[in-house]
Amino acid sequence: MVASYWETARTGFLAFVGVGALALLPLVLLHYWRFGRVEPRRAFVLYGLLAYGLVALALIFLPFPADASRLCQGEQMLSTVPFQWVTDMRNNMAASGQSGITAMVTSSAFLQQMFNVALFVPLGVVLRKAYGKGPLAVVAIGLGVSLAVEVVQYTGNFGYYPCPYRISDVDDLISNTAGSLLGWMIAPVALVVPRLPDSTDATAPTGTATVPRRLLGLVFDLMLVAVVAKLVLPADLRWALGALAVARVVVPAVARGTTAGGWLLRYRVRRDDGSAANPLRLAVRELLGVTGLMAYAVVVSPLIDNAALDLAVITLVVVGTFVVPVFRRDQRGWHDQAAGTRVLLKENGDVRTPTPVERPHAAPRP
């Protein structure tokens, strides 16, 4: 029985790998649209629930019957007697001439019910630890989900099969609900499940320039440099690199932190406190960011000819500049953190400093 459960769980996990890959981009876009960032704990919990749900569904419904015509054989596919599994366990033990605790806990009836309990424990853990639900809400949700499963089973997956291929059992409702409550009870020690922050704590501060906006501004700067290099400068990448340094360091130093792309997208590079960033900070920021990556590609990489190091540098800069900010409230990458800068929106020619979102007074969680 354990081997069959393992194989079914493996099928559910493989389904999660495929579905999870398809859901990754929509999840990122949804979080960014709602919060202005991807909150790591919320993303972790959502992905965990997706994995748990698909594995649980696989364990509940798989394997599907190979021959649907052999289903309707007159068997009783509905059990409405509470704790019938206790009677079944005793009958099995009596038939095999066994007794005692060892025989009880190794009987198929007992193991089946313990499996039904364990199946819903993660649901109770997540509902309490991540979402702050109380015991009554957890019991109600666990009972509702279990009841929905039993209805689907009893209707032959809503009529897809002519007859049910799994028994709909009131004991399953009891065991699943008990599992949800057990999960609620042990949730405080489930360290792997984070408590989700309030939406106000997950949202990027007002006035922070988002990563897509800054990326568009960077693309505009690069296009402008490419046009200038093509029309004006000698055909040498080092001249183009110099033009990029001017566009990304010198111009912001004299234009209050604004590049050509920043002017178009209405954002500026400022210090942490919103004041003007000096040229040194701007130079450090660019050296550790895109301009530094371009300098490495044009000057350093041809000299050392090391593909592994090239890949490591590209990965480090891309992750630090564009991936890390997606998960941070202040949208600052490693280059911003090292330089003590941040990218802020402009309003009417002035910089709008990020302001914390006021948190409403909420009732204490149980």
pLDDT of residue 78: 83
Query: Number of structural domains, the chain?
Result: 3
Torsion angle defined by CA atoms of residues 242, 324, 270 and 300, in that order, rounded to the nearest 10 degrees: -20
Q: How does 50-88 read in b/e, with b if 16+ C-beta sit within 10 Å?
A: bbbbbbbebbbbeeeeeeeeeeeeeeebeeeeeeebeeb
| 72 is a domain residue | no
Residue 116's nearest CA partner among 172, 49, 38, 73 is 172
Q: Give per-10-residue mean pLDDT for the chain (366 aa).
A: 65 75 78 78 85 85 75 76 87 80 83 91 94 94 94 86 85 94 94 82 82 91 91 87 92 91 93 90 94 92 90 94 89 93 74 49 42
Both 342 and 221 in a single domain? yes
Which alpha helices (H) appear in 187-333, and where do they start and end? Answer: 199-202, 211-231, 237-245, 251-254, 260-265, 279-287, 290-295, 301-304, 307-318, 324-327
pTM equals: 0.68
pLDDT of residue 364: 43
Torsion angle defined by CA atoms of residues 195, 199, 200 and 202, in that order, rounded to the nearest 10 degrees: 70
| 39 is a domain residue | yes
Q: What span, in angstroms and rounded, lies between the C-alpha atoms of 366 and 360?
A: 18
∠ CA 47-187-16, nearest 5°, is: 20
Both 120 and 256 in a single domain? no
Both 307 and 339 in a single domain? yes
Could you list the residue range(s) of the whole structural domain that residue 157 is in? 77-82+98-201
Torsion angle defined by CA atoms of residues 69, 73, 74 and 77, in that order, rounded to the nearest 10 degrees: -70
Both 104 and 197 in a single domain? yes
Both 243 and 318 in a single domain? yes
Both 208 and 284 in a single domain? yes
| 246 is a domain residue | yes
How many other β-carbons are positioned within 10 Å of the β-carbon of residue 147? 15
Both 221 and 264 in a single domain? yes
- DSSP β-bridge partners for residue 346: 351
Please identify which residue in the block is written with the tokens 């059992």: 169
| 364 is a domain residue | no
Please say whether the beta carbons of 210 and 204 come within 8 A.
Answer: yes
pLDDT of residue 354: 55
8-state DSSP, 76: -
Q: What span, in angstroms and rounded, lies between the C-alpha atoms of 207 and 351?
A: 8
pLDDT of residue 44: 85
State phi, psi for 338 to the nearest 5 degrees.
Answer: -65, -35
